[in-house]
Amino acid sequence: MKFTDRLLRMKPSATRATADKAAQLKSEGKRIISFTVGEPDFPSPEAANTAAIEAIRRGESHYTPTGGHKYLKEAIISYYKERHGVTYNPKEILAGAGAKPLIYEAIGTLVNPGSEVIIPTPAWVSYVEQIDVFDGKSVLVDTADSQFQLSLEAVERAITDKTAAIIVNSPQNPSGVIYSRKFMADLCRLALKRGFVVINDEIYERLTYGVRYVNPLADAPEARDAVLTVNGSSKAFAMTGWRLGYAMGPEALISKMATLQGHITSCPSSISQWATVGALKNAQADVEAMRDEYEKRMEFAYKELSSMPHISVTKPQGAFYFFIDVRSSFGKKSGETTITNDQSFCSALLDKGVALVPGVAFLSPGFARLSYACSMNTLKDGLGLMRSFLESLQ
């Protein structure tokens, strides 16, 4: 049996691999506290559950239009108009089986072999792999030494005549930074001027602390032909398993993405669409309650992490991650193990019962991601073990 070169180039998701390793150790009877998976630990909102059950009872269990039914699109339109002051029409919206396949479809629509896509790093693990599937080239722009903030000048230096798109994620996984409104508006205007597309991944847009995220088209409406926004119900509404995302952008781009989607999934789950309608219409209070709890955890974890030796942290503005600089631990020993990089740091910490994701998985070696999408008790226990580990380094 022979496999394609593109598949052989593809690396498994490092976040999943780390989570699976932690789960394996747990199954062997070892006490492991895992901070690896970016999944809300809350149940889906009752409004979503109720809408799904009612849809099942109505018999809404058949194919819908490829891009989603009109009731979902109406709910998305209302949400974006009320929340961001940005108006879309139904032909500018495509619902899919999660945000991840929508980004894949956007890349498949925009990227030819040799096309370039600018990726600020650290970056979510799947962007580069998806670009590689379509024989595109990822142009990495490192932000690790600027507190993970991206500058317009750095983007301009990365642009060539092969640039097809830039993917920005704000609030960002893994750093938790939020790009400024001015930067995002200027970036969209630059994309319009230079002829590339901003793929704006705002899946964490409701999970912010002290800063309100606003869709960039609220400040740069003239650039809407150069912006594709991707969002979904997974993170804000704790609906990861429902697998429902949505993309909003120029009608021509949405239409081509829908053509690709039609040959992959036909349409997103009809029941998940109805659940998301229920969430968008009636679960805003649930979102705020979850956000408040994440903020409490973030403040607690930031205080703890800031006082630990051999690491440093930047306070997140959104999402539910810390991206921890572990470079000061290099050269130190945990027992007989010498820490030489972020992978050996995470391996040594895992031996002590705490699982983090190495920064190399996010194209930023020297760091490690900690997800605080877990209970406060779990956070306290895990951070206590982490402090003991760091204090024991020689």
Residue-wise pLDDT for 184-232, tens only, equals: 999 999 999 999 999 999 999 999 999 999 999 999 999 999 999 999 9
- pLDDT of amino acid 14: 64
Q: Specify the domain boundaries for CATH 3.40.640.10 within the chain.
A: 46-282
pLDDT in tens, 120-130: 999 998 999 99
Confidence of residue 22 (pLDDT cuts 50, 70, 90): confident
Q: Mean pLDDT across the chain, nearest whole number?
A: 95
Please state the length of the chain.
394
Q: What is the C-alpha separation between 371 and 320, in angstroms, rounded?
A: 6
Where are the domain boundaries for CATH 3.90.1150.10 in the chain?
A: 5-43+285-392
Give the CATH class of 5-43+285-392.
Answer: alpha beta
What pLDDT is recorded for position 30? Answer: 83
Q: What span, in angstroms and rounded, lies between the C-alpha atoms of 218 and 33? A: 41
Say if pTM beats, i.e. exceeds, 0.75: yes
Match domain 46-282 to its CATH number in 2.60.40.10, 3.30.300.30, 3.40.980.10, 3.40.640.10: 3.40.640.10
Q: How far apart are the first and last CA of the chain?
A: 50
Torsional sign, CA 213, 218, 222, 227:
positive
pLDDT digits (tens, 9 = 90+) for 158-175: 999 999 999 999 999 999
Q: How confident is the model at residue 28 (pLDDT cuts 50, 70, 90)?
A: confident
At residue 223, what are phi and psi to the nearest 5 degrees?
-100, 15
Residue 321 clears pLDDT 80, i.e. is over it = yes
* Separation of alpha carbons 132 and 138, rounded Å: 8
Give the tens place of pLDDT for each residue, 92-138: 999 999 999 999 999 999 999 999 999 999 999 899 999 999 999 99
HSE toward the beta carbon, residue 209, CA cutoff 13 A: 21
pLDDT > 70 in the chain, percent:
98
The DSSP symbol for 208 reads: B
Q: How far apart are CA 137 and CA 127, in angstroms?
A: 11
Cα distances (Å, whole numbers) of residue 151 to 118, 180, 182, 187, 348 = 13, 10, 11, 9, 35
Amino acid identity at 160:
T
Identify the pLDDT of residue 15.
65
Q: State the average pLDDT over residues 361-369.
A: 97
> 341-353 as b/e, with b when 16 or more CB fall inside 10 Å?
bbbbbbebbbebb
